[in-house]
Amino acid sequence: METPKTAECANIGKSVVIKGEVSGSEDLYVDGQVEGSLELAGNNLTVGPNGQILGLEFYRCNARSHCMAYIPSGISRGLTHIGIEVHSLDDVGRAWDMVQERGIPIKMTLGRHTMDNLVSFYIRSPSGFEFEYGAGGDLLDDASFIMQKPNKAEVWGHKFMLEGWGSTVKPVVR
């Protein structure tokens, strides 16, 4: 893999260890270690031969805060969940009732995220894959949005009901 030129992107060198959130609005090359989360507002991330990203990563496909989450840690890695956003809070409420009536495993209870105001809940499918189902999330404008780490992840709710990751997160074999 060819190392990107530092003039073309931000660079975290192989002797650098960052603990916490890394956010930015330009491409990033990581050859060091990041222990935390990355938010690059739609820009490219290149992980070099010495690079390690340890923490949850969120990926966007539209103006929402994220549509899927991935854990790339040194212990486990895989897709943690995908998000499905529906039209109304009533749709979420009806689905919440249905999930409970049918005994579908609930990963996290109904709640509201601090970062984007989405009201959602998380379920684990029969195959072990996890989904976030919600409505009312804020639209983010890439030109003006600045990622900030809130004091807490939830305004209310989102209590964990199941331990561990779903079936799509696997232990790393060394």
Q: Which CATH superfamily is domain 56-171 in?
A: 2,3-Dihydroxybiphenyl 1,2-Dioxygenase, domain 1 (3.10.180.10)
pLDDT band at 147 (very low <50, low <70, confident <90, very high): low
pTM of the model: 0.66
Which of 62, 81, 37 is closest to 142 using CA atoms?
62
* Cβ-count burial 129-141 (b if 16+ within 10 Å, e if not): bbbbbbbbbeebe
Compute the average pLDDT of residues 133-156.
77
pLDDT band for 146, please (50, 70, 90 cuts).
Answer: low
Nearest to 118 by CA among 146, 80, 99, 91: 91
Q: pLDDT (tens digit, 9 = 90+) per residue, 34-53?
A: 877 666 655 666 777 777 76
Locate the domains of the chain by residue range. Answer: 9-55, 56-171
